[in-house]
Structure 1
Amino acid sequence: MTNKGTARYAALLRGINVGGNKKVPMAELRSVLEGLGHRDVGTYLQSGNAVFSSAGGDPAQLTRQLEAAVEAHFGFRVPCLVVGAEYLRAVAEACPFPAAALEGKQLHATFCSEQPAAERFAALDAAAYLPEEYRVGDRVLYLYTPDGLGRSKLAEALARPAVVKGLDVTTRNWNTVVKLVELTGP
C-alpha cells in the first residue's frame, strides 16, 4: 500500500547470502531501508530482493543511498539496483520469450545499471549457444536457458568482462521477476 506522493520500488542486491559470504539478514535489510526513510518495506526470499515505498523518485539516487547504507551497516560493499514498479512491469510485459509456457528456472532477467551498447555483444556468436538464447531489452537481458542458469554456457559468456564491464548487473529468475511485479504493484 502506498501513500499519496510516493512510488513503489524494488531493490535488487547482488551476491549476498551465497555460500556463507556477504551475509545480509533480511530483517536487517528491512531496517536499513526503513532507516533511509522508506515505508511499506518488505523482502522476498533471502537472495537480496526488497520492495519499498518512497518519495525519493530517482532510482539512481536511491541506489547510491542504499549501497552506502548497506556498506555502513554491514561493513562491505554490495552492488544494488533500485528499479521502479512501472519499469518492472514493463520488463515483464516486454519479455520476448513465452514466459507463461516456461518454467521459472528456464527464463531469467539480468538487470543492468545502464543500457548495454550493441557492440558489447558483437563478439558473441549466439548461434553457438542454441538452444539457449538471449534478447536485449531496456536495461535488461532476457535469457532463456532450457537446462537452468547453473548449466548455461550462454550465461557464462554474457557474464564476461567484454559484455558487463562497467555495468552493475544482477540476475533474477522469472518467478522472482513476476513476484516483484506483484509486490510493487498497486
Structure 2
Amino acid sequence: MNVSIKVERKGMGIFMSTKYLIATVVETIIKVVIIAAVIVFVFRGATQAYEFGYRVFADQPVSASGGRTITVSVEESASLKEIARMLEERGLIEDANLFMMQELLSAYHGKIIPGIYDLSTDMTAGQMLEIMATPVAQETDSAQSTSTPVAGEAQDTEGEQGTEPVGEEVPQDGGEQPESGE
C-alpha cells in the first residue's frame, strides 16, 4: 500500500510542479511586457518633451520667406490662451500651447497690449510677442493722419501699414497697395 500512495503523491508532485512552472512562466511574461510598455512610454514621453523644448527655444516662423501678412485684433479682455488660439487659427503660429510657453518664458510675459497688429507668417513667436507688447508711438501719428485725409498724404504714408480701416481680420498678400488717387 505504501508503494501506491507514494506513486500517487509523486504524480501529484509532478502535476503541482508543472502548474507552478506554467504560472511562473506566465508571471515572467507579464512582467516583461509591463516593463517593455513602461520603457516605450518613458521613451516616447522623453522624445516628445525634448521636441517640445527644442521648439520652445528654436523659435522658428511658420514660413521661412515670403510670408503673408495678417491683421489681427487683440481685445482688452482676451486671455493669452485666446490670443494663442486666434494666432493658430489664422496660421501665424503652428501650436497655441507652444506659443503660450514661449510667452511665459519671454521678457514679454504678461505685457501684451490690446490693439490691432499686422503680423506675418515669416515672423517668429518672439517677434510677434515683441510687436504685441511694445507700445507704438506711430499708431497715434497714423491715426491722426487717417482721421484727416489730405490728397498729398497718401504719398507720404505709402510705406506705412495700418493706414487703412481695419476690420476683425484682413489677410494681405505681399505688400500693401495704396489707393491711387493720381
Fold-level similarity (TM above 0.5):
no
Which is greater in Rg? 2
Normalized per residue, the structure richer in strand is: 1
Q: TM-score, normalised by structure 2?
A: 0.26
- The structure carrying a bigger helix percent of its residues is 2
- In the superposition, the TM-score normalised over structure 1's length comes to 0.26
